Structure 1
Amino acid sequence: MITRRPLRPLTIALLSSVALLGGCTGHPDDMAVVRPVTPQATWSAGNDGAAVWPQADWWQGFNTPELLALLAEARQANTDLARAALRLRQAQLREVQAGAALLPSLGASANVSRQQSGGWGDSTTPSQGRTSAGLGLSASYELDFWGRNRAAATAAQVNTEISRLDQETVALTVTADVANTYFQVLALRDRARNAEENLTLAQRVLAVVESRFRNGAATALDLAQQQASLVSQRAAIPSLRQQELDATLNLAVLLGRQPQDMAVAAGGLGGLGLPSTGVGVPADLLERRPDLKGAALALVSAGADIVAARAALYPSANINLSGNLSGSGLNSLVNAPTAAANLGLSLVQSIFDGGSRRAAVQIAEAQKLQLIETYRANILAAFSDVETARGAARNAETQRKLQEESVRLAREVFRLAETRYREGQVDLLTLLDAQRSLLSAQDSLTQTRLAELQAAVALYRALGGGWGPATAGVTPPAG
């Protein structure tokens, strides 16, 4: 039978004093998200529309199913993304740990013992034994009057969301890297193909020079110059093939593949499309980029750390409850146990710590100020990223159109120079210059196409990719 006893006056006084001291120790501004930069209304080149942003299907605009398949594979097999997922899992478990402090803890115990006396070594003396058994249950709960545990739980919850946003940032980086590396492989294939085509032209010119040399219309110097030009152009091809191999192996690493398993089917940049990339108002960028959303939430987490540090200045209060059943045997424990219960309240307050806890508060406040400056720097860098990528995309398009015209004209110049060289109207140097100009123009066009594709990817990345606006955020504890 459990005996209930009324609370003693001292216990009531302690509970009353703790309750009177209760209240949130955090300042309302501790948990606030400060926006240290006021976005401009428009970008330097204007806005495309209030709600015009890249969508999740933006990658389809490149018109290459192979790239879509590689991106899907990277999202499943990339090692950076795998590590980000594990970091998120750890954050989720830490959130569970922090939340457990808001709940009471329960414990149970059981014991059985046997005491034997008499009869040791003497068969004539009967032995006597006594068995005792007991069951116990205990509970403890910390009264979180100052909000320390609640603040720690909030910080853990916010940190979980930050880890999720970090995972999105890694995913955005990985997809951009896969696309850029894929385009680089295709561009190097085009450059090598251009070099091989120009090698064929050089061999054709060499045949003309050899014919003219046999007829006495060309000198030995002309023949040697064309042979040297041919060897030089042939020597450039292995370097391009090696660069293509390097890029292909880099792509394998991004996909989590063995190098031997990596192969790119597409032959070049020809046939690729260019997705349109809309740019909305600058203020919305803060809600689109996962790194900026994470930096903003870091301020909430830092505010929770301030609340927890301030709460440590005040007493901690714990309620402890325990009860047990005991008997002189298992039957007695079941049928006629002796019951006892204990209820206690503990109140602990540090009297002197050399200023350690107050320094902890100041450290937490300084850390939040540092994070505000970090957030400010990230916002400015994000705006700069968009302006830079947008300008690069616009200029790359203009440069590509001009370079296409340059290739057309260089091809015509080479045709005329070759014809007139056959007729003896121009010398070999004129023809060689025309051929070098054609090769240079073709190579520049390929690199300009690559720059245009990569500029589109850079703009997509600077705009936060195809992510939507922030979902429901973390609610700070009321103070």
Structure 2
Amino acid sequence: MRYISLKSLSFATRPALAALVLGTGMSGCTLATEHPELGLNIPDKYREQQTRAPDAAVPALEWWRGFRSQELTSLMEDAQTRNLDVAAAIAQIAQADAQVGVSGAALLPTVTGTAMAERVRDPGGAGMSSQFNLGLTGSYMVDFWGKNRASLYAAEESATVARYNREVVTLTTMVTVANTYFQILAAQDQLRIARHDLGAAERILGLIKQQFNAGTASQLDLSQQEALVSTQRASIPPLEVTLRQNIAALAVLVARAPVNFKVLGGSTTQIAVPRVTPGLPSELLNQRPDIRQAEAQLASSNFSVEAARAAFFPQIPLTGQTGFQSAALASLFGPGAWFYTLAANMTQPIFDGFLLESQLKQAKGVQLENLQAYRKAVLSAFADVEKALVALQQFTLQEGLQTKVVTSSRRAFDVAETQLRAGTVNQITVLQTQQTLFTAENTLVQVRLSKLLAVSSLFQALGGGWTPQKALPSLQPSTPANVPS
């Protein structure tokens, strides 16, 4: 960059430059942002909290590794780099950063160059005349009331919102990948159970057919068992739908075509359940990117109110023009061809059809809306943790109880099948033990799935995989680069 000394400028151009510099230095001297009262009561602990270990409250950066599934870890890594929603959120950051530059331009002078060559025929055909002009025009709007600076701060906070939004989208994507993968595992478990139960029901049907042929079983016994076999066979297609649709959904999450995407899967019993503790509610305000996003959005609207309020005050534009003008190109840069003009004026809105007043009311309305959105984000975050804790605790308890139900039901079925072969049990009892076992096994899979979903929900509720250091601080206006304070 080339610097120009003030001494090298002509005496006549110094007032214009001094006015521009003075106006720049006066910019924003009255900016005083107002922050509305948040009015939130932060609880000391969660209702379902069992420990207050704050160190364990922050989930690990790669929290999904706690499930100890290599395939899930690979899918998570692919989603971080390939997911299209995350890519769109990154593009929004670029847009927000560009808007900061657009808003900051109003705080700097503008300089434009002009060049003109003109040839005019005199009236009456007396002759031709030429006119040549080469000059520079500079202008600056003195931001004495801080309107432009407030607009810049609002844009900076909006850029912060975009960064937090990317973290929100990333966290949501990761949790969705985990939940979809768990749905696939549960569907595979249910398919294995359905096929196993179908085989058991067909085996019992074979025994009843033998007894029917021998005259020891009735047509009713045979028809009831045939109905159970058909019911078990009919339960398989819906499970296939669930499995294949979730695989297709998972393919989209990692930005792959479903036709070329495969998932090995496995079983929900192979997934470890990591230990998660919530910590203190006050820590959640910094741990969740959606709360920080709402906070930054509120800060942006605060500055927008200041900009709308400053628009009521006078505007002071400064303009200056200098250059060379001559009727002959050869003498364009001669001593007598140089000219300059300086101008300063002030405009005060008097009546504009209540435009400025309506714009201020609109800005205040947006501010109030963002304030309520921030309050809701905080309260919803507390509720998310509470609901996830309740679900995790109760589904863990139900899993233990349901496991006992399955064990007892399987034992009863085995005994009933043995007695059926010996002809010492009623077929209705066998039918009931089959139905009880089949229902208990499916319920156990659903409980295990619900438990895994509760764990991932708790990670999401605690802002898992994100730390406050990864995003810009909000509610702290900073002096923009290249703008004098």
**TM-score normalised per structure 1:** 0.89
Residues paired across the two proteins, number: 463
- The answer to whether the 8 Å contact 2:27/2:146 transfers is no
Q: Structure 1 unaligned runs (5+)?
A: 121-126
Out of 29, 47, 67, the position equivalent to 2:72 is: 67
After superposition, the C-alpha distances for 1:158-212 in whole angstroms (9 at most, x for unaligned) are 0010111112111111111111111111111110110100111112112222222
Shift of 1:112: 3.0
- Closer, same or farther in 2 for the Cα pair 1:7/1:92, shift >3 Å? closer
Percent identity over the alignment is 33
**Aligned-partner SS, 1:348:** coil
Q: Structure 2 unaligned runs (5+)?
A: 1-8, 480-484
Shift of 1:335: 6.4
- The answer to whether the 8 Å contact 1:166/1:290 transfers is yes
**CA RMSD across the alignment:** 2.9
**Aligned-partner SS, 1:274:** coil
- Closer, same or farther in 2 for the Cα pair 1:106/1:23, shift >3 Å? closer
Shift of 1:267: 2.9
Correspondences of 1:234-383 after superposition (within 5 Å): 234-333=233-332, 338-383=337-382
The residue aligned with 1:40 is 43
Amino acid at match of 1:38: N
The residue aligned with 1:148 is 147
Shift of 1:401: 1.3
Amino acid at match of 1:61: G
After superposition, the C-alpha distances for 1:237-266 in whole angstroms (9 at most, x for unaligned) are 112112212222222232333231232112
- Closer, same or farther in 2 for the Cα pair 1:325/1:111, shift >3 Å? same
Amino acid at match of 1:383: F
**Aligned-partner SS, 1:467:** coil
Matched, 1:49 2:50: no
**TM-score normalised per structure 2:** 0.88
Shift of 1:343: 1.5
After superposition, the C-alpha distances for 1:433-457 in whole angstroms (9 at most, x for unaligned) are 1111111111111111110110001
- Closer, same or farther in 2 for the Cα pair 1:7/1:276, shift >3 Å? closer
Taking the aligned partners of 2:294 and 2:372, their CA distance within structure 1 comes to: 10
Taking the aligned partners of 1:329 and 1:246, their CA distance within structure 2 comes to: 80
Amino acid at match of 2:240: R
- The answer to whether the 8 Å contact 1:41/1:283 transfers is yes
After superposition, the C-alpha distances for 1:307-352 in whole angstroms (9 at most, x for unaligned) are 1111111111111111112345554335667211112112111122
- The answer to whether the 8 Å contact 1:183/1:453 transfers is yes
- The answer to whether the 8 Å contact 2:287/2:463 transfers is yes
**Aligned-partner SS, 2:139:** strand
- Closer, same or farther in 2 for the Cα pair 1:7/1:171, shift >3 Å? closer
Amino acid at match of 2:44: A
Taking the aligned partners of 2:152 and 2:27, their CA distance within structure 1 comes to: 19
- Closer, same or farther in 2 for the Cα pair 1:430/1:22, shift >3 Å? closer
After superposition, the C-alpha distances for 1:217-254 in whole angstroms (9 at most, x for unaligned) are 32333223222221221111112112212222222232
Amino acid at match of 2:174: T
Out of 64, 78, 93, the position equivalent to 2:98 is: 93
Taking the aligned partners of 1:114 and 1:316, their CA distance within structure 2 comes to: 39
The residue aligned with 2:482 is none
- Closer, same or farther in 2 for the Cα pair 1:465/1:369, shift >3 Å? same
The residue aligned with 1:110 is 115
- Closer, same or farther in 2 for the Cα pair 1:33/1:279, shift >3 Å? farther
Amino acid at match of 1:74: A
